[in-house]
């Protein structure tokens, strides 16, 4: 479990390849990973609904599902701050790479 005192300096990272192992370390708690997976899955459902219905509120719903689940995982279970606060693009990319890695069995759910 990471704490503010032991968290890596994400601002010093210069590449996604350097960032992703640290990102995974910030997602060591299984429930946190499960909440990320749930949020990402719900966000994809919302994206499909946006494309199917053309109703723009599904974009907001997708963001709420994705970030809401992830942030609950961090604040309640992982007890750390989401990487999206310091490195939003790398964090967004990390979410989807971790999602793929969970689907392919590389990371246990």
Return per-residue pLDDT of the chain as tens, 109 residues: 444 445 567 668 889 999 999 999 999 999 999 999 999 999 999 999 999 999 999 999 999 999 999 999 999 999 998 888 889 999 999 999 999 999 999 999 8
Q: What is the pLDDT of residue 6?
A: 54
Asked whether 2 and 26 are in contact (CB, 8 A), the reply is yes
User: Which distant-in-sequence residues (6+ apart) come within 8 Å of 35 by Cβ?
Assistant: 69, 70, 72, 73, 77
Q: Which residues contact 1 (CB under 8 A, 6 or more apart)?
A: 28, 29, 78, 79, 80
Specify the pLDDT at position 49.
98
Q: Does residue 90 sit in helix, strand or coil? A: helix
31, 35, 40, 43 alpha-carbon torsion, rounded to 10°? 170
**pLDDT score, position 12:** 80
Three-state DSSP class for residue 44 = helix
């Amino acid at each position: 479990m990471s704490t503010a005192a032991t968290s890596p300096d994400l601002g010093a990272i210069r590449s996604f390849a350097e960032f992703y192992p640290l990102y995974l370390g910030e997602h060591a708690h299984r429930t946190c990973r499960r909440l990320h997976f749930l949020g990402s899955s719900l966000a994809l459902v919302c994206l499909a609904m946006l494309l199917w219905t053309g109703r723009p509120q599904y974009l907001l719903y997708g963001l709420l599902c994705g970030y809401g689940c992830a942030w609950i995982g961090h604040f309640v279970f992982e007890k750390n701050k989401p990487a999206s606060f310091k490195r939003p693009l790398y964090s967004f990319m990390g979410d989807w790479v971790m999602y793929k890695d969970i689907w392919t069995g590389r990371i246990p759910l």
